[in-house]
Amino acid sequence: MVEVDAEKEKKEILLKYKSLLRVSRAEYSKEDKKMIRKAFDMALEAHKDTRRKSGEPYIYHPIAVANIASKEIGLGATSVICALLHDVVEDTDYTLTDISNMFGEKIAKIIDGLTKISGIFDQTISIQAENFRKMLLTLSDDVRVILIKLADRLHNMRTLGSMPKEKQLEIASETIYLYAPLAHRLGLYAIKSELEDLAMKYTEPEIYNNISQKLRDSETERAAFITRFIYPIRKTINEQDIKYTILARTKSIRSIWDKMKKKEIPFEEVFDLFAIRIVIDVPNETEKADCWRVYSIVTDIYRPNPDRLRDWISTPKGNGYESLHTTVMSNAGKWVEVQIRSKRMDEIAEKGYAAHWKYKDANSSDSGLDEWLKKIREMLQNMDSNALDFLDDFKLNLFSEEVFVFTPKGELKNMPIGSTALDFAYNIHSQVGNNCIGAKVNLKLVPLSHKLKSGDQIEIITSSKQFPREDWLGYVITARAKDRIKNALKEDKKKIADEGKLILERKFKQVKLDFNNITINKLMAFHKISNTLDLYYEVANGKIGIKEIKAFTQENEKGKWLRYLTRRFITTKAPKEKPESIIKQEQEEINKKETLVIGENMDNLDYTLSTCCNPISGDDVFGFVTINEGIKIHRINCPNAVQLRSKYAYRIIKAKWTDKESIAFLAGIQIKGIDELGIINNITRLISDELNLNIRSIKVETNDGTFEGDLKIYIKDTNRLNQLINNIKKIKGVQKVQRINGNA
């Protein structure tokens, strides 16, 4: 055990606190400083006996969160106070009433939004989704809850290295699934990029480290190139009457990897590894014209790519982002992205909503960010859907790409990419959507499902006799449209469902089942029904009768080991009076004892290998406890892993392969190359004759001298698979070989 120097720690804590005050000293009044000190003292006392996994005093965390909120997001004194206190109610004996009495109702409300739900949950509830919804509900009153939560998440990600591997994967998956898109939608680009990179560091460590090393290796070369590239631009702008700064930024590791995957190219062929940002300090009234002046200077020096001009000055993004982007060819034959923006635009781009609010008086009309927040607040008012439906609907509103369309009167509307004419109708008004029978796009009649493109002008055609139908849900992608259609459909269903509920209660009595939420939820899962309204509706229509209920009862008696796991892993929360430290200790003990060993002879264990990622012996895997299909084994880097860990972390169990000789597993590989004579024969001969592997299927397509083949083979473990891939790469004409996911 490491001996703690209490006096040294005390000095370090005070240094961190003073550093926090220095971040925005000019903005804090005497009263602000008094309240911040009061919050610091309370947090220090509340967390005095608690340490983080790293061994540091817990108070380091709230101070760091307050620092991020103030320095990196640009929030004020109220947010700093809330950041210092954000874990006090959740982790200590202080209550919201205590916070309200000492700091006022507003701060107590924000703290409430930052405090996780406690209590016991049954197997159908996603605790993460419930907590996320609870946090977002406060957005109706105060967006600072979300911004402080992002600061909290960012610091947790920066210090994730001290957590156990399973926890790292859970937190990183949740970050990439929810928090990074949320940061992007609120305009916090720097935080979004850092969250994505840090998440990738734990979910795909090999790729992350590989790209990171290559960036370090090329750093000197890049710096020299940037200096040469900037020189003529700087020289020319100096001759103009414009104050400016030029910054160079390297693409984030995540965005480099996304480009490598999308373009199917190696790191060395990613042409826009970095971007040059020119920030001009000019009056707001001339900033657009001055940005175009600088654009003209840059494109006079370097030839622009006409397909890569992005004008987000004339039409800002929905999250408030304004900038002028162009990609130009350097004298060295490399493409370079150049971003041009004013100081105001740059602050909004870096600090998102906080900076947008600061400049709101200068922009009297609501921005796209205000419009988005209005839509979210509308969605939050609908509490009928369960937390997972809410989460999915919320994700629909986190689109990073948009289309810009016009009403018949020329009013500009921004919609998520992929939006349809019916989405547009509901965007105008709920009643317009409900009565929509068609639309005219650019004066041409189109169906409700017609997808919109930027520049389209849309006129909605309505009829008072038209009403929403079930199939409309397949025509729309926006949460607003889905919500309005569901609400309209529910009204018709409710009357029938009320009768169905009474019928089901009588039938439960017949088979001696308890009519409670747990049994109802299990019945819904058995019949793959997502909500009680649909269940009662099916009962009323006779689709679920006594025969189906008896079948459910019989099935419910099976799989005792699975039900044991369900109780252990899905009902994870202990009552509130149980200390958090005890809860964590119990969970760790469960995890130690209940690691699923794949390949052992367990006749009573119901598990299958998932077909979405085809795990084989040697892969890093985890088990996922389903409601009706036993345990599914997934690879750690399965395409669905992020979603499963972020929504259902409480259903994840550790899994490993037995050391015994195992059976052959099905794996897929993709091969690309030059279509030389006999190349496919060489590949199959290597697999079958030299390595003695069985090929289940092979599919090859050729096109203008190139070929692409997908092979499914039976193989025992990842070592043999990697050996096979390396051997195939040596065959003349083969350009690329990689493992693929997908159904067998």
Q: Which residues are catalytic?
A: 90-91
Q: How far apart are CA 327 and CA 307, in angstroms?
A: 9
The total of other beta-carbon atoms located within 10 Å of residue 52's CB is 16
Q: How far apart are CA 62 and CA 15, in angstroms?
A: 14
Q: How far apart are CA 113 and CA 135, in angstroms?
A: 5
| Bridge partners (DSSP) listed for residue 625 | 631
**Which residue, chain included where needed, has tokens 């020189």?**
231
Query: What does the block give as tokens for 525?
Result: 């899962």
- Return the ∠ at Cα 131 (arms to 129 and 134), rounded to 5°: 110
Residue pair 516/478 in contact by the 8 Å Cβ criterion: no
- Return the ∠ at Cα 554 (arms to 551 and 560), rounded to 5°: 140
Pairing between strand 631-635 and 607-609? Answer: parallel
Contacts (Cβ under 8 Å, ≥6 apart) of 547 = none
Q: How far apart are CA 717 and CA 619, in angstroms?
A: 8
Q: How far apart are CA 387 and CA 374, in angstroms?
A: 20
Q: How far apart are CA 686 and CA 326, in angstroms?
A: 48
Nearest of 616, 572, 738 to residue 170 by alpha carbon:
572
Looking only at Cα atoms, what is the longest distance across the chain? 90
Q: How far apart are CA 665 and CA 693, in angstroms?
A: 11
Q: How far apart are CA 400 and CA 416, in angstroms?
A: 8
HSE-CB at 462 with a 13 A cutoff on CA atoms is 17
Angle between helices 641-648 and 165-174 (to 10 degrees): 100
Q: How far apart are CA 496 and CA 183, in angstroms?
A: 43
DSSP, collapsed to helix, strand or coil, labels residue 320 as: coil
Alpha helices, DSSP H, located in 186-218: 189-203, 205-217
What letters, b where the CB count within 10 A reaches 16 and e where it falls short, cover 412-431?
ebbbbebbbbbbbbbbeebe
Pairing between strand 621-625 and 652-657? Answer: antiparallel
Residue pair 80/66 in contact by the 8 Å Cβ criterion: yes
What are φ and ψ of residue 395, in 5° steps? -60, -35
Residue pair 212/267 in contact by the 8 Å Cβ criterion: no
DSSP category for residue 283: -
Nearest of 340, 274, 331, 271 to residue 301 by alpha carbon:
331
Q: How far apart are CA 113 and CA 577, in angstroms?
A: 20
Alpha helices, DSSP H, located in 469-611: 479-510, 517-526, 532-540, 546-556, 560-570, 580-593
Query: What does the block give as tokens for 535?
Result: 């269940």
Q: How far apart are CA 28 and CA 444, in angstroms?
A: 58
Nearest of 184, 175, 151 to residue 79 by alpha carbon:
151
What are φ and ψ of residue 296, in 5° steps? -60, -40
Residue pair 402/317 in contact by the 8 Å Cβ criterion: yes
Query: What does the block give as tokens for 96?
Result: 């919201």
DSSP, collapsed to helix, strand or coil, labels residue 382 as: coil
Q: How far apart are CA 61 and CA 425, in angstroms?
A: 47
